Structure 1
Amino acid sequence: MNKELETKKNSEIFVNVTDYETRIGVVEQGKLVELLVERPEKERIVGNIYKGKVTAVLPGIQAAFVDIGMEKAGFLHFSDTSDYQGEKNLLFDMDYVDEETLDTPRVTTRRRSSIITDFIKKGQELLVQVIKEPINNKGPRLTTQISLPGRYVVMVPGGKHVGISKKISNGSEKKRLRKIVGELKPPHFGIIVRTVAEGKDQKDFKADMSLLTKLWGKMKKKVEESKAPDLVHKEMEITGGIIRDLLTPDVTRLVVDNKKEYLQIIKYLKALDPRLCSSVELYSDPEPLFDKYAIEPEIDKMLDRKVWLRGGANIVIDQTEALVAVDVNTGRLSAKGKGEDAIYRANIEAAREIARQIRLRDIGGILIIDFIDMQDRENRRRVYDEFKNALSHDRSENYISSISDLGMVEMTRERIRPSFMHTFSDSCPVCGGVGRVLSRESMAVKIERWFKRAAPSSQSRHYQLVANPQVGEILLAGNPTRMKNMEKTSKLRIDLIVDTSLHPEHFKVIDLGTEVDVTEKFKAPA
């Protein structure tokens, strides 16, 4: 990784905005650990709240399908309903049930031993929230247990309890926070205090809760006036969500390369916490932001199956439909370096890198990790502890089993959205889907970045772009087309030629002034 990025000591957030894509890179201790991308054609819907209509109830699997106005109906399991938890559905019980009866053993037992058809019927209207994005050919996963995230708290309409983030470990601080929130909590709301609230005072909580209470009031009014299916509340855009969830005092700076986005962030922070405005920077250098801070090369490696470690070992990541297998190999470790101590050090390095790759690639579901065999039981324990510690900063819920005598670790990680591989690549047309290639959209964006790099220093102003017809189709879509926008932004003249013999992941750029192939000249730095 580039030394400029490597020497950073604190967490930083970098925001790259174009007409067709917004990318957010989270860097911790000089390493890219999280990448979030939003494209207009793949808007994220997790957090959205809908008034939906039940289209089918399947008691055999204790689930229902709910029409929320999307191509595929949402999936609602009984365990994700308020009825399962012993509460009434919010859509039909705006005044809520008597709080005193919610936690009685009799009510809870009766509810949990019931079946879904006791509470949900075909044609019924429900207020639901998306908790998982559509993945592959499945619709979004839904819940009727609505939650409204703020900066310092998450408010749960219909709840009554106060919970504190597990990451706040200080007992006296937990007690202080519980007291503050308990005094401010509106009736008929449960409250979860977020990690970022540690050390905050009453006025911070008061402002946050006031905002969320007003939001819930507006939502209730829309629910009463709207006809299912209908979008009742849209979760904030990706940048706003990241600021709300990740911009903490530990983040030394947030750098954004788009003035409009920068002004929106400043406006949002002034209302939220003006003290945070000083950490936001507008980047205006001609060199692309992600090139400058060596984030682009890290992204280019994210589809690689093999990841090399500094000590000479490597890890291989294979994603299948059922699970993800991660194998740690000795790689280039010398014969002398294959003793117990060397293997232990390789496994420690691998544990840290695997945790980073899991977060970076957003891998969810079941994972099987095969470390290099170690004879010493204490070494196995230390590797396990290192892996668990490396994943402690992960925002997604995970469960890690203990390491076996053979060095195997099984784990599960919450899958909220498709992994990076499935989002940014397509099945290979040559091998019939065994391998993956960059998606047409990803290739179009890659070409746009090439011309953005070329524009400031290029001597020529006229180029010929040769691309696969599938990529060319994306570039010629829209009104104006992406080709026209690319020419306007770069101030270059670009002639597009499609070539069926060109691999979907490849493109060529010819300088028409000199008739020289300049493709390599302005590629992302390695």
Structure 2
Amino acid sequence: MKATKEIIINSTPSETRIAMLEDGELAELFVERPQHERTLGNIYKGIVRKVVPGMQAAFINYGEETDAFLHFSDVAEVGSTGGLSPIPIVEMIVVNEKGEKHTIRSPLKNNQEIIIQVIKEPIGSKGPRASSQISLAGRYLVLIPGQNDSGISRRIINIEERKRLRKLVRSIRPKNFGLIVRTVAEGHDENELRGDLQSLMDHWKDLETKIHSETAPSLIYQDLSMAFSIVRDLFTPDISVLAVDSRKLYRDVHSYLKEVSPQILDTLSLYRGRTPIFDHYKIEQRIESIISRKVPLDGGGHIVIDLTEAMVSIDVNSGRYIGKKDHEENSLKINLRAAREIARQLRLRDIGGLIAVDFIDLIEEKNRRKVYDEIKKKLRSDRAKTDVLPISYFGILEMTRQRLRPALLYTFNEPCSSCRGTGMVPSLETIITRMERWISRFRHGTREPRLLLTVHPDLAAALRTDLKPRFRQMMLKHLVHIKLKEDPTLRADEFQGYSYRQKRDITAQYDI
């Protein structure tokens, strides 16, 4: 039995939020803000800033602060489309996973112009990942200039439908263009696919003109905004509700659907309730749980999710759950619940990259296999590509999940200015000890008897009360008179030294 799916869109001037509900439960959440507009799918006329053969990659100046990363494997072997301006073709030796080499035509050189498309959003300080294989996504089809083949979405599993669509797409495919049939094309006729293809060809002609006329680096094609891309990509026949709380967005989505899929207009509605739309659908309270490290499991136990620079670690804990059976059976129950929740959380939080899950130890191989099969089963509904390895003897499951944009945690949060993202701050004793060492270096280097020390108000209060004897002892030991000055803008573990004699800040001079 298929889940009941609903798409709920909350749009304000400060952000647009799109929630996908499955049987009333929040399954996916997308957030777009003006300062972090979606770039996925955008096409740029860029300039090759640097080719790095040792990395099998090139860095492309595409007009933003950070360069785009173009791996040699993402450089397309593309021929001319017979238009105003062919897609740039490059040549280089690419080494595949088996160590075999093959050549891509026409040299990629520093300072040459190249057309690229963003295939992965910028994450942290890293620029976006790009490809020189351009594709234009429509409602039913994806158009790939310079190719001469066609494909069908793997999510269309009906054999007869796949045969029908393959025959149809071969009959309508233009010369020198590739076509991919999208999942939403299932059940749709030739006229609908031809209409989508014509729209894509019109977009391509406009894009070709810009390729020829625009000066690099520049944006030459902007993909749909997040709200429209979600409607385009996820609005399948099993969506029962598409509710929008913005009149303008409602009109725009109505116009879009009327053009590409008029048969599903009945599912679109403008929310007019007094209660905020995300409160009405009980989404708001679930969003709050996304930023929590600890996620409780139904029936007992919990998982803890930690995102690090290198990978994501997930720990499964039994908590106070005891159960009525033996340890192996209880551990299996918790692990199966955890496997289902982990699959849901990865999709909901949009977590990607390398992921390691520390399940509760299971002695029997058949039980480890059950947990592995359960998480694989639940990941089938995830649109992102995943690769999962069996659970090791130590209870560790390793997997990867396709990462196209930063995890939602980084959308809602930013690194703590005090702990700088570590989750730990120096203890008071550590701060005082570090301060004393700094004072020692200051006295040894200057012999000055007076010093102005600027500290956070909390540290100043501690030095004047509980730590007053320690502070006096510090001054006596180093024969220096220290005047304290408070500055709430400083971190709790930060201090600044000012020399009266030199009339300047000398903090860095005597730091380690």
Do both proteins adopt the same fold according to a TM-score greater than 0.5, normalized to the shorter chain? yes
2:356 is the alignment partner of 1:368: yes
- Structure 2 residue corresponding to 1:124, chosen from 94, 112, 133: 112
- Structure 1 residue corresponding to 2:130, chosen from 142, 145, 152: 142
The answer (yes or no) to whether the contact 1:59–1:115 under 8 Å persists in 2 is no
Cross-structure match for 1:73: 67
Q: Flag structure 1 segments of 5+ consecutive residues without an equivalent.
A: 1-7, 98-108, 437-499, 504-526
Secondary structure at the counterpart of residue 233 of structure 2: helix
Cross-structure match for 1:18: 12
Aligned amino acid, residue 388 of structure 1 = K
Secondary structure at the counterpart of residue 278 of structure 2: helix
Q: Deviations over 1:33-69 (max 9, x none)?
A: 1111111111110100011111111111121111111
Q: How many Å apart are 1:335 and its aligned residue?
A: 5.5
- For residues 304 and 368 of structure 1, the distance between their equivalents in structure 2, rounded to whole angstroms, comes to 18
Cross-structure match for 1:312: 300
Q: How many Å apart are 1:187 and its aligned residue?
A: 0.8
Q: How many Å apart are 1:406 and its aligned residue?
A: 3.2
Aligned CA distance change for structure 1 residues 58 and 383 (closer, same or farther; 3 Å): same
Cross-structure match for 1:269: 257
Cross-structure match for 1:206: 194
- Structure 2 residue corresponding to 1:176, chosen from 164, 169, 181: 164
Q: How many Å apart are 1:113 and its aligned residue?
A: 3.1
2:71 is the alignment partner of 1:113: no
The answer (yes or no) to whether the contact 1:96–1:188 under 8 Å persists in 2 is no
2:49 is the alignment partner of 1:55: yes
The answer (yes or no) to whether the contact 2:80–2:86 under 8 Å persists in 1 is no
Aligned CA distance change for structure 1 residues 48 and 335 (closer, same or farther; 3 Å): same
The answer (yes or no) to whether the contact 2:80–2:176 under 8 Å persists in 1 is no
The answer (yes or no) to whether the contact 2:301–2:334 under 8 Å persists in 1 is yes
Aligned CA distance change for structure 1 residues 91 and 429 (closer, same or farther; 3 Å): farther
Cross-structure match for 1:256: 244
TM-score normalized by the length of structure 1: 0.75
The answer (yes or no) to whether the contact 2:43–2:220 under 8 Å persists in 1 is yes
- Structure 2 residue corresponding to 1:348, chosen from 323, 332, 336: 336
Cross-structure match for 2:276: 288
Q: How many Å apart are 1:390 and its aligned residue?
A: 1.1
- For residues 247 and 24 of structure 1, the distance between their equivalents in structure 2, rounded to whole angstroms, comes to 12
Aligned CA distance change for structure 1 residues 301 and 337 (closer, same or farther; 3 Å): farther
Q: How many Å apart are 1:336 and its aligned residue?
A: 3.2
Q: How many Å apart are 1:75 and its aligned residue?
A: 1.2
% identical equivalent positions? 46
- For residues 93 and 257 of structure 1, the distance between their equivalents in structure 2, rounded to whole angstroms, comes to 43
Counterparts of 1:391-470 in structure 2 under 5 Å?
Answer: 391-435=379-423
Q: Deviations over 1:199-219 (max 9, x none)?
A: 221112111111101110110
TM-score normalized by the length of structure 2: 0.77
Cross-structure match for 2:346: 358
Q: Deviations over 1:446-501 (max 9, x none)?
A: xxxxxxxxxxxxxxxxxxxxxxxxxxxxxxxxxxxxxxxxxxxxxxxxxxxxxx79
Cross-structure match for 1:154: 142
Aligned amino acid, residue 350 of structure 2 = D
Q: How many Å apart are 1:92 and its aligned residue?
A: 10
Secondary structure at the counterpart of residue 341 of structure 1: helix
Cross-structure match for 1:87: 78
- For residues 65 and 264 of structure 1, the distance between their equivalents in structure 2, rounded to whole angstroms, comes to 37
The answer (yes or no) to whether the contact 1:367–1:412 under 8 Å persists in 2 is yes
Q: How many Å apart are 1:96 and its aligned residue?
A: 7.8
Q: Deviations over 1:289-323 (max 9, x none)?
A: 11111111111111111100111110010110000
The answer (yes or no) to whether the contact 1:49–1:128 under 8 Å persists in 2 is yes
- For residues 266 and 424 of structure 1, the distance between their equivalents in structure 2, rounded to whole angstroms, comes to 30
- Structure 2 residue corresponding to 1:233, chosen from 221, 230, 235: 221
Q: How many Å apart are 1:384 and its aligned residue?
A: 1.4
Secondary structure at the counterpart of residue 228 of structure 1: coil
- For residues 205 and 104 of structure 2, the distance between their equivalents in structure 1, rounded to whole angstroms, comes to 31
Q: How many Å apart are 1:374 and its aligned residue?
A: 2.2
The answer (yes or no) to whether the contact 1:62–1:115 under 8 Å persists in 2 is no
Cross-structure match for 1:221: 209
- For residues 276 and 80 of structure 2, the distance between their equivalents in structure 1, rounded to whole angstroms, comes to 49
The answer (yes or no) to whether the contact 2:18–2:30 under 8 Å persists in 1 is yes
Q: Deviations over 1:74-102 (max 9, x none)?
A: 111111101xxx435889994689xxxxx
- For residues 258 and 96 of structure 1, the distance between their equivalents in structure 2, rounded to whole angstroms, comes to 39
The answer (yes or no) to whether the contact 1:89–1:126 under 8 Å persists in 2 is no
Cross-structure match for 1:44: 38
- For residues 158 and 385 of structure 1, the distance between their equivalents in structure 2, rounded to whole angstroms, comes to 41
Secondary structure at the counterpart of residue 59 of structure 2: strand
Secondary structure at the counterpart of residue 133 of structure 2: coil
Q: How many Å apart are 1:115 and its aligned residue?
A: 8.0
- Structure 2 residue corresponding to 1:30, chosen from 12, 18, 24: 24
- For residues 88 and 25 of structure 1, the distance between their equivalents in structure 2, rounded to whole angstroms, comes to 40
The answer (yes or no) to whether the contact 2:141–2:179 under 8 Å persists in 1 is yes
Aligned CA distance change for structure 1 residues 158 and 370 (closer, same or farther; 3 Å): same
Secondary structure at the counterpart of residue 414 of structure 2: strand
- For residues 17 and 371 of structure 2, the distance between their equivalents in structure 1, rounded to whole angstroms, comes to 33
- For residues 225 and 265 of structure 1, the distance between their equivalents in structure 2, rounded to whole angstroms, comes to 31
Aligned amino acid, residue 305 of structure 1 = R
Aligned CA distance change for structure 1 residues 290 and 20 (closer, same or farther; 3 Å): same
Query: What is the aligned length?
Result: 418
Higher Cα Rg: structure 1 or 2?
A: 2
Q: Flag structure 2 segments of 5+ consecutive residues without an equivalent.
A: 89-97, 425-487, 492-512
- For residues 242 and 423 of structure 2, the distance between their equivalents in structure 1, rounded to whole angstroms, comes to 36
- For residues 259 and 117 of structure 2, the distance between their equivalents in structure 1, rounded to whole angstroms, comes to 26
Secondary structure at the counterpart of residue 35 of structure 2: helix
The answer (yes or no) to whether the contact 2:50–2:110 under 8 Å persists in 1 is yes
Aligned Cα root-mean-square deviation (Å): 2.6
